[in-house]
Amino acid sequence: MAEMKERREKYNALLDEAEKQVRAKLTPQFEDLEEGDRILYDAEINDLKTKLLLAANENLSMKYLEKMVNLASKNGKTALELQGYLTGQLAEMVGKSQNLTYIRPQLLTMSKKLTQASQVDDFDGIKAQLNDISQMREVPFAVGQTQSFITDNIGHVAGRYVNNPTKYFEDHSETVEFVEGKIENHKRFGHDLYSE
C-alpha cells in the first residue's frame, strides 16, 4: 500500500505541475499602447465616459458605450481594463432600460467583443486541457481484470484501496503506526516482528 500511495503521490505531483503550466498560459501577456497612443486613448475613453454619464437618452448611451468598446477592443490590455467598467454599465442599463429586448443583443455583442479581445489565443483549447487534467485525477489506477486480480490474489483490502491508497492509511492509522513501530523495533533492537 505504501508503494501504491507513493506512486499516486508522484502521479498527482506530475498532474499539479502540468496544471500549473497550462494555467500559466491563461495569463494574458498583452503589450501596452505606446506612450503617445496611451495618452490619446485615455483622453478619448474619459471623454466617452463623461458623455455616457450625461447622455440624454438610452440611444446616445448605447452609441457612446459602443464607441468605447470598439476603441478598447483594438488592444488586449485596454480591453481587459475596460471590462470592469463595461460590466457596471451593463448592469445599470439593464436595470433602467425601458427597451431591454432591443438593447440586450447589442449589449451581449459588445460584451463578447471585449471578452474576445482580452482573451489569450486558444482559450478553448486551454480550458479543454485543464478539463483533461481534472479527469485524469479521478481515473483509477487499476480497473477490470487488474483490480479483480489484486482482490483475488492479494485480498479484498488491497482491492478496495488500490485506487486510493492514501485512504487506507487514513482508515487504518492505528494499524499502520503499530506495524511501523514493530518494524522500527526490529531494525533497531532485533525484536521479533511477530511477537505480541
DSSP state of 33: P
Question: Smallest Cα–Cα separation from 137: which of 26, 9, 33?
Answer: 9
Query: Are 107 and 160 contained in the same domain?
Result: no
Average pLDDT, the chain: 80
Domain limits for position 186: 142-196
Total domain count, the chain: 2
Query: Are 106 and 146 contained in the same domain?
Result: no
Query: Are 115 and 146 contained in the same domain?
Result: no
Domain membership of residue 5 (yes or no) is: no
pLDDT category at 86 given cuts 50, 70, 90 is confident
pLDDT at 106: 85
Query: Are 90 and 149 contained in the same domain?
Result: no
Instruction: Read off the pLDDT of each residue in 9-13 and give the average, rounded to a whole number.
Output: 84
Domain stops at, among 119, 154, 188: 119
Q: Is the pLDDT of residue 39 over 80?
A: yes
Using a pLDDT cut of 90, give the percent of the chain over it.
13
Domain membership of residue 7 (yes or no) is: no
Query: Are 109 and 155 contained in the same domain?
Result: no
